[in-house]
Amino acid sequence: MIRILQRRQIDDERWNEVISSSLNETIYPYSWYMDACSDNWCGFVLDDYEYIMPLAFRKKLGLKYSYQPVYCQQLGVYSKQRIEPEVSRAFLFRMNKSFKMGDYAFNEQNLLGDEKGFDISDSTNYILSLTDPYDAVLQNYSENCRRNVKRAYNSGLEFTDKISLEEVISLKRISEKEGRKEEHYAYVSKLFSTLNEMHKTRIFGAKIENHLVAAAIFAFSGQRAIFLLSASSDRGKEYRAMFLVVDAFIQMYSGTIKYLDFEGSNIGSIARFFRGFGAKPQIYQRVSFRTPAGKIVKLVKGV
């Protein structure tokens, strides 16, 4: 049966070993990442850690509700073996039994289809394979991407990997047109400080006249690097600086890791940027619910 384990009950070693061995391995569901990105979280576990699913939650007026943390694109079910659709649905209904309202993103291996009582929407992630050498990856750049990369290198931009987290956050503040609350930047600082302390990140950027105009933080898990945070000033956008940053990363890591995960976007211009480097779309689904979805169906033996 699917059990709920509170954070203190989770065996971190066994939990993380399942994540690291799963086909859909990524950084978000590791216990230490969930600790850093969420207020509270628990684990849904089927049998003896055969299938696991993390869930972040908060409390308001005595009601617990699930939420998707910032910089945590996908969660869902993870296992060392292939995850059948009925297993994903069983976890969905079990989640709804314990949390009567919330928002939750399953991963690309957990496609659910339509389920009565849930609002399920498709989102698009973009993944670039880096198993081949750089020259082979370069062949899949679009013509427009090649042109922008060339323009960036010829514009006087200087690539740098000597950038502090504080510099990136400062650039992020300047580049974000909509005002964000101070709590958001405190959260960003705390999360990425944790990743830096664990040596899970690299920061690449571009300067012109010694001024930082673009930067990106790449977070590393076992199989992939994630384009987790990026920022570009107006001048950086003018000089196409982010094309230089991403191309420099691809040159450095092609043939050494499996994937560059761009995290995707449903915004057309951002999606085109990712596709320009040859990244391929992957669908994952986000679920929201506000009332019980009804009687739990025994979709898996013993659930």
DSSP 109-164: T------TT-EEEEEEEEEEE-SS-HHHHHTTS-HHHHHHHHHHHTTT-EEE----
- pLDDT at position 291 is 65
Residue 164 pLDDT > 60? yes
113 domain residue, yes or no: yes
Q: Are residues 24 and 139 in the same domain?
A: no
What phi and psi, each to the nearest 5 degrees, are found at residue 118? -125, 145
302 domain residue, yes or no: no
Residue 30 pLDDT > 70? yes
What's the total number of domains in the chain? 2
Q: Are residues 8 and 117 in the same domain?
A: yes
* Pair of tokens at residue 69: 């943390």
Q: Are residues 118 and 191 in the same domain?
A: no
* Pair of tokens at residue 182: 């101070």
234 domain residue, yes or no: yes
106 domain residue, yes or no: yes
Mean pLDDT of the region 239-265 = 95
Q: Are residues 20 and 113 in the same domain?
A: yes
Q: Are residues 94 and 42 in the same domain?
A: yes
Mean pLDDT of the region 73-82 = 96
Q: Are residues 92 and 147 in the same domain?
A: no
Residue 165 belongs to a domain with what CATH number?
Answer: 3.40.630.30
Question: What is the C-alpha to C-alpha distance for residues 218 and 202, in angstroms, rounded to an integer?
Answer: 5
Structural domain boundaries enclosing 16: 2-123+283-289
Residue where the block lists tokens 């950027």 = 205
208 domain residue, yes or no: yes
Q: Are residues 202 and 157 in the same domain?
A: yes
Question: What is the C-alpha to C-alpha distance for residues 39 and 60, in angstroms, rounded to an integer?
Answer: 13
pLDDT band at 292 (very low <50, low <70, confident <90, very high): low
294 domain residue, yes or no: no
Residue 20 belongs to a domain with what CATH number?
Answer: 3.40.630
Tens of pLDDT along 111-122? 898 888 899 999
For residue 9, give the nearest of 34, 41, 56, 46 by alpha carbon: 41
Determine the 3-state secondary structure of 278 from DSSP. coil
Query: What's this model's pTM, rounded to 2 decimal places?
Result: 0.91
Q: Are residues 7 and 97 in the same domain?
A: yes
263 domain residue, yes or no: no
